[in-house]
């Protein structure tokens, strides 16, 4: 930071503002490229299908066809039904998984003993591939929303857990001592020093966890489901309708990207205080 | 508002190691300013951390106003060598960090006064990463004083800033002290700083540390850093430190295990 090299007489707020804008304003060319890339893919897709007819329609449907199918599905209300079912599940699973992870991580992160007792088991559970849970969850919980939401919660739990525990363990002891010096209670120490200091890790964990939630959502909906984007996918496959599959996949991509963008915004706001390398 | 510190026959050793402090005695009167000088690694920070309650398991007694220190308390302020500001809090929130939320309203005038005293009025809403080293250290000073401790412990508080800023900060510290009259125990490596600030300078011997000599600085404040008496005291302290340091190289428990 520039202000670090100035003698400690008075602050120059305009200087600080200049640093701020330099932080946020990125090169516009990079953003253009970022937009151009998907646009180019879209054009290539269009050319390969509608124009050059390189693929048969039952292999790779044209974008125009996919758009028409999407419009039909939307008009019939099906798209909305599937999307809202999926969003509901993803949010419920993510909410439950992330909240549990938050609680467990704080306990594990604070206590060496609890970590030694609990962490090996949790790591064992973590290494079970997502699909392996499905038969058991169905066996234990029957078919319904419970096993699906549970599966998503499992998916969201671990990224949050792993990141937050290491975040807590990376909190600078020197900052914790500031808390001690002021005689903070254990709860206040967690709330006022440890969690804020571990916030960058927590937010990374939440972002990865949300990604996992979408992943596990599809796994949950591929099997024994009557609604959701995963169901649309499998339904499209069963009825030889790649255009429906494409609508499902593109919607998933869109939702994933949107939800991640939302969390990124939260992250940027919540972490405005960090003084870390931002890339050049 | 200002407290007495009594250090009675305090010894301390860490788990796997030779003793760091041995039978150390020191008494500090209310509103007195005492500096600790001594060779590097002799245990000055350890003594300060014991007094703040950050470090435990010692022999002997540490008393603040007759109360044995068992845990950190708001009655003892501590200023670290580094600012240790919480990076997610603004300057103002860092300063009020130690205050209980329910006290916030009634301490509001005090906080405003403190911010003025350390000359941070214009940057109360900045984040730590937007501060220079000297500014950050002033925030740290204000934070350690916000709880109105009777004792302020300072561990090489100004060692990381340039000479000119250091002098300004010393003057600032004295001006705040003149209003609040807390008792100060200050670790420093800077003889001039010790002479400029303190009523007494305690020179510690090398490990295990005891008080080797106490030098009284009976000069009125504000002091002239270049006054003849200061220069004499300086030479005297330098000599005392040299003896203390040489003791460390030949005596028991040297850092090199000789
Ligand atoms: N937590 C600890 N565990 C083990 N040994 C420690 C610990 N803290 C300090 N020591 C030892 O105690 C001795 C005194 O350390 P201390 O930090 O008090 O020295 P100091 O006088 O402040 O030195 P300096 O002037 O260099 O800051 C050192 O030799 C150090 O190795
Ligand atoms: Mg030290």
**pLDDT tens, position by position, A167-208:** 999 999 999 999 999 999 999 999 999 999 999 999 999 999
Res A28: pLDDT: 80
Across the interface, do A182 and B126 touch by the CB < 8 Å criterion?
no
* Listed ranges A22-36, A224-238, B97-111; the one with the highest mean pLDDT: A224-238
B17 lines ligand 1 (CB under 6 A): yes
Confidence of residue B253 (pLDDT cuts 50, 70, 90): very low
**Residue A258 burial class via C-beta count within 10 angstroms: exposed 0-12, middle 13-18, buried 19 and up:** exposed
- Quote the ligand 2 centre to B41 CA distance (angstroms): 7
Percentage of chain B exceeding pLDDT 90: 65
CATH for B1-75+151-258?
Answer: 3.40.50.300
CB B158 within 8 A of CB B135: no
Quote the CA–CA distance of B18 and B41 in Å, as a whole number.
12
pLDDT band per the 50, 70, 90 thresholds, residue A25: low
The angle at the Cα of A143, spanning A140 to A149, to the nearest 5 degrees, equals 80
Q: Which residues of B20-53 are buried (b: 16+ CB within 10 A; e: fewer)?
A: bbbebebebeebbbbbbbbbeebbbbbbbbbbbb
pLDDT(A280) > 80? no
Under DSSP, the state recorded for B181 is -
- Residue whose CA lies nearest to ligand 1 atom number 26: B40
- DSSP letter at B19? E
pLDDT at A11 over 60: no
Give the global pTM.
Answer: 0.84
Q: What is the pLDDT of residue A197?
A: 97
**Residue B252 scores a pLDDT above 50:** no
Residue B247 has pLDDT above 70, yes or no: no
Per-residue pLDDT, A68? 95
Q: Which of A209-218, B59-68, B234-243 has the lowest mean pLDDT?
A: B234-243
Per-chain mean pLDDT for chain B: 89
pLDDT over 90 for what percent of chain A?
71
B97 interfaces chain A, CB cutoff of 8 Å = yes
| ipTM of predicted assembly, 2 dp | 0.89
Question: B135 CA distance to ligand 1 centroid (A)?
Answer: 27
Q: Which of residues 154-193 of A touch B (CB under 8 A)?
A: 174-175, 177-178, 180-183, 192-193
Domain with CATH 3.40.50.300 in chain B: 1-75+151-258
Share of chain A above pLDDT 70, in %: 90
- Say if ligand 1 is within 6 A of residue B109 CB: no
Question: Is the Cβ pair A177, B164 closer than 8 Å?
Answer: no
Give pLDDT, residue A20.
47
pLDDT value for A56: 86
A138 has a pLDDT exceeding 70 = yes
Q: What kind and span of H or E run contains B21?
A: strand B19-28
Mutate to test the pocket of ligand 1, among B17, B21, B153, B193 (most ligand atoms within 8 A of CB): B17
What pLDDT is recorded for position A15? 42
Of residues A10 and B100, the one with the higher pLDDT is B100
Among residues A255, A268, A199, the alpha carbon closest in space to that of A229 is found at A255
pLDDT averaged over chain A?
88
Asked if residue B139 has pLDDT above 50, the reply is yes
A19 contact residues in B (CB cutoff 8 A): 130
Asked if residue A125 has pLDDT above 60, the reply is yes
DSSP letter (8 states) at residue B209: B
Which residues are found with C-beta within 5 Å of the ion, ligand 2?
B 45
Record: contact B84-A174, CB cut-off 8 A: yes
The answer, for A33 touching chain B at a CB cutoff of 8 Å, is no
The winner for highest mean pLDDT among A114-118, A125-129, B119-123 is A114-118
């Amino acid at each position: 930071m520039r202000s670090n090299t100035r003698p400690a007489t008075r602050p120059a707020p305009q200087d600080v503002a200049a640093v701020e804008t330099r932080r946020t304003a990125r090169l516009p060319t990079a953003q253009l490229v970022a937009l151009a890339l998907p646009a180019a893919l879209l054009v290539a897709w269009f050319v390969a299908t509608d124009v050059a007819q390189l693929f048969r329609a039952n292999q790779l449907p044209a974008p125009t066809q996919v758009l028409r199918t999407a419009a039909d599905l939307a008009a019939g209300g099906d798209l909305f039904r599937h999307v809202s079912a999926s969003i509901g599940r993803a949010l419920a699973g993510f909410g439950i998984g992330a909240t549990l992870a938050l609680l467990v991580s704080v306990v594990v992160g604070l206590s060496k003993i609890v970590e030694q007792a609990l962490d090996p088991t949790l790591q064992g559970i973590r290494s079970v591939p997502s699909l392996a849970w499905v038969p058991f969850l169905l066996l234990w919980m029957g078919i319904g929303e419970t096993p699906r939401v549970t599966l998503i919660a499992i998916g969201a739990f671990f990224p949050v857990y792993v990141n937050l525990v290491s975040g807590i363990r990376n909190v600078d002891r020197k900052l914790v001592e500031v808390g001690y010096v002021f005689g903070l209670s254990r709860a206040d120490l967690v709330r006022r020093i440890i969690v804020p200091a571990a916030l960058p890790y927590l937010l990374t964990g939440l972002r990865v966890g949300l990604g996992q939630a979408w992943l596990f959502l599809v796994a949950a909906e591929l099997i024994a489901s009557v609604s959701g984007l995963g169901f649309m996918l499998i339904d499209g496959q069963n009825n030889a309708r790649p255009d429906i599959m494409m609508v499902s996949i593109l919607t998933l991509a869109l939702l994933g990207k949107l939800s991640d963008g939302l969390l990124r915004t939260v992250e940027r706001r919540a972490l405005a205080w960090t003084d870390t390398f931002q890339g050049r | 508002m200002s407290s007495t510190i009594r250090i009675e026959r305090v010894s301390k050793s860490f788990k796997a190691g030779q003793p760091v402090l041995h039978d150390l005695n020191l008494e500090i009167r209310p509103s007195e300013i005492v500096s600790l000088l001594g060779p590097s690694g002799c245990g000055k920070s350890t003594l300060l951390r014991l007094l703040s309650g950050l470090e435990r398991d010692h022999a002997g007694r540490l008393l603040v106003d007759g109360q044995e220190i068992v845990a950190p308390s708001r009655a003892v302020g501590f200023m670290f060598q580094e600012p240790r500001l919480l990076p997610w809090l603004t300057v103002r929130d860092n300063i009020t960090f130690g205050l209980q939320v329910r006290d916030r309203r009634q301490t509001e005038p005090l906080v405003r006064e403190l911010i003025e005293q350390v000359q941070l009025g214009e940057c109360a809403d900045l984040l730590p990463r937007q501060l220079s080293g000297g500014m950050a250290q002033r925030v740290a000073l204000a934070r350690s004083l916000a709880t109105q401790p009777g004792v302020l412990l300072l561990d090489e508080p100004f060692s990381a800033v340039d000479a000119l800023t250091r002098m300004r900060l010393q003057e600032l510290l004295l001006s705040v002290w003149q209003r609040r009259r807390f008792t100060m125990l200050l670790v420093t490596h800077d003889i001039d700083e010790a002479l400029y600030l303190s009523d007494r300078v305690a020179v510690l011997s090398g490990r295990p540390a005891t008080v080797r000599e106490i030098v009284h600085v009976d000069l009125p404040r504000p002091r002239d850093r270049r006054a003849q008496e200061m220069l004499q005291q300086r030479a005297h302290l330098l000599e005392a430190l040299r003896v203390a340091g040489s003791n460390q190289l030949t005596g028991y428990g040297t850092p090199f295990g000789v």
